[in-house]
């Protein structure tokens, strides 16, 4: 199966990022590729809340990864996607480490031909082998998928 699925993460086998602290609290700027730098921070009193919390960035990373996998797989099934939106929410542990114990992902797909079975099939493959961010949290975080077809 692997040989038939395009590797949407390209042939780049190493990826890099650089980060710099920019104040005396926890405001950090992150860079990768040639893209607009991303401000990260924590909410008061630890930081000034001027940027994404690392866990918020994680949700976007995970969401974009799952979206890329599901979209690629649905298109390979010759399905038409008119609109694709996601809501991702993570429930954090109350004790350290305050990581996500559970992440809920709602896939909101506008399409004339996508069925719930199609999405379930794409999700199973994405979790199993196509979405690398999902693979890195496997066994540590429970992921729930919600499918909304419009």
Site for its own copies in 99-118 (CB under 8 A): 99-100
60 binds its own copies (CB under 8 A): yes
Q: How far is the CB of 116 from its own copies (least distance, A)?
A: 19
Structure tokens at 22: 């920019």
Q: Which of residues 31-50 bind its own copies (CB under 8 A)?
A: 31-33, 35-36, 38-40, 42-43, 46-47
DSSP 127: I
CA distance 90 to 143: 9
Structure tokens at 111: 């399409």
CA distance 129 to 123: 10
90 binds its own copies (CB under 8 A): yes
Query: What are the φ/ψ torsions at residue 120 (nearest 5 degrees)?
Result: -60, -40
Among 78, 96, 112, 117, binds its own copies (CB under 8 A): 96
Q: Which of residues 4-33 bind its own copies (CB under 8 A)?
A: 5-10, 12-21, 26, 28, 30-33
Q: Among residues 24 and 117, whose Cβ is nearest to its own copies?
A: 24
Classify 80 as helix, strand or coil.
Answer: coil
């Amino acid at each position: 199966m692997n040989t038939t699925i395009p590797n949407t993460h390209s042939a780049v086998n190493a990826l890099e990022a650089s980060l710099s602290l920019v104040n005396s609290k926890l405001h950090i700027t992150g860079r990768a590729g040639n893209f607009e730098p991303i401000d990260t921070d924590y909410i008061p009193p630890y930081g000034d809340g001027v940027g994404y919390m690392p866990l918020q960035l994680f949700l976007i990373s995970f969401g974009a990864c799952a979206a890329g996998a599901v979209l690629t797989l649905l298109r390979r099934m010759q399905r038409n996607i008119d609109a694709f939106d996601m809501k991702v929410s993570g429930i954090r542990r109350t004790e350290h480490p305050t990581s996500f114990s559970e992440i809920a992902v709602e896939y909101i797909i506008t399409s004339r031909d996508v069925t719930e079975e199609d999405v379930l099939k794409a999700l199973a493959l994405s979790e199993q082998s196509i979405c690398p961010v999902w693979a890195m949290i496997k066994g540590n975080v429970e992921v729930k998928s919600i499918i909304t077809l419009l």
